[in-house]
Structure 1
Amino acid sequence: MKIIQATGQTCNQFWIYSHYFAESLASGDKIMILAPDIALKDYPNLTKQRFLKYPFYNKLGVSVLSYKRYVRILNLVFANKITIRIFTYLFKLIPKVSFVEGHMEAFTSSKKSKYKKELKKIFKPTDVVVDFVDKFIKEKRGLFQVIVGVHIRRGDYQTWHNGKYFYTDEEYNKIIGQLKILFPNKRVGFLICSNEKIYLENFNNKDVFFFKNSSAAIDLYGLGLCDYVVGPPSSYSAWASYYGNIPLYFLKDINNRISLDQFFIDEFPWPPLNIDKK
């Protein structure tokens, strides 16, 4: 049995866990996660797997403390550096049980491609999310022949890599203009998703739209239903590409002239150490 605590935000954790899950699907070995990610409630199949257990996550704790508070407490207790250091040493003394602090690129499973269908089921969002997004995209399919998902990453990207991948709405406008030219004689729509408020009036294109009353799960699933995904290097847009099996383009250089041959579909388009190879 492996006790795994992945690091990073939601999609970093999805990437990390997916490799270990693929191994467990092949071997039947059990996995235990002590501190779940805050997005757990949006992905109910994660709590329904025979090989996967969350020993400290339960309905009683949620009802007493509220979901967000309970998950945050579990992460404060089990995902802090001191606890991880103790567990790393302690579980070396216990036979047949190993503790892993999961980092991006620390472990890559060769079985991930084989079990992609099963992994997609495990990481499927709630029916509410799926039904809402499916209906929305279906309506847009009636208007557009091609839909490009544009992931506008803000927030922490203002400082990550010294803001190298933090772009303005004006710069995204130029990117959208470039992308439109790639599909001559076709009606092209653009689904914009962001971790900050979107102001449509900042975009000059009438074919730009977004999810009202959105969430991270809605945006992520929606991007995966587009025909193409564009965004700064991020595990979020990379996961959408992986989940939807759609071509991805990383905005590494905002001044680069985009062409369709620069998009790629890759089983492992993340973590970020690989982005300069694309």
Structure 2
Amino acid sequence: MNTHPQADINLGLHIRRGDYIRWQGGKYFFSDEVYHRIIKDFIALHPNETINIYICTNDNALNIDGFTAVHPTTFLSEGSAIEDLQLLASCDYLIGVKSTFSLWASFYRRVPLYWIMDKDVPLTAQSFVYFDDVFTTV
């Protein structure tokens, strides 16, 4: 984060692919376009603030250019899993699929988390919850 432009909000985006294409019938495997729409929804919630987006993913073929086209200050982590966890925990908000990885990041620093449960549901300010709110549903 220190090497990137200063922003009012740092958004951590956890894109889990790999096993999620099969897990629960692919229910939580989303296309880049779904993430693009959610990013746009998030930006619309914060119209007067600068935002940096940090993507952590296990998708080695992720098209980062598609994400920077949606929001120019989007950065792809190239760290290890533990570095990604630290990066996500350092953000102000987290968005991702139902995963204990993003849940741990939320827990570590009490970061508001939005789990994408249904790709067709628009993101709102009320979509974000804290670890304590979701822990019993994991």
TM-score by length of 2: 0.90
The count of corresponding residues between Structure 1 and Structure 2 is 135
Q: What are structure 2's unaligned runs of at least 5 residues?
A: none
Q: Which has the larger helix fraction?
A: 1
When the two chains are superposed, the root-mean-square deviation of aligned CA atoms in Å is 1.6
The residue number in structure 2 matching 1:170 is 33
Conserved in 1, the CA contact under 8 Å of 2:103 and 2:131? no
The residue number in structure 2 matching 1:153 is 16
3-state secondary structure, aligned to 2:12:
strand
After TM superposition, give the deviation of residue 202 of structure 1 in Å: 2.2
The structure whose Rg is larger is 1
CA distance in 1, matches of 2:48, 2:3: 20
1:179 to 23, 27, 42: 42
The residue number in structure 2 matching 1:210 is 76
The structure with higher relative contact order (CA 8 Å, sep 6+) is 2
Identical-residue share of aligned pairs (%): 34
Query: Residue type matched to 2:77 in 1?
Result: F
Matches within 5 A, 1:127-276: 137-140=1-4, 142-197=5-60, 198-203=62-67, 204=69, 205-212=71-78, 214-267=79-132, 269-270=134-135, 274=137
1:168-190: CA deviations, max 9, x gaps?
Answer: 11111111111111111111111
Q: Which has the larger strand fraction?
A: 2
Conserved in 1, the CA contact under 8 Å of 2:13 and 2:53? yes
TM-score by length of 1: 0.46
Conserved in 2, the CA contact under 8 Å of 1:151 and 1:230? yes
Conserved in 2, the CA contact under 8 Å of 1:229 and 1:246? yes
Conserved in 2, the CA contact under 8 Å of 1:235 and 1:270? no
After TM superposition, give the deviation of residue 269 of structure 1 in Å: 2.9
The structure 1 segments of at least 4 consecutive aligned residues displaced by more than 6 Å after TM superposition are: none
After TM superposition, give the deviation of residue 255 of structure 1 in Å: 1.1
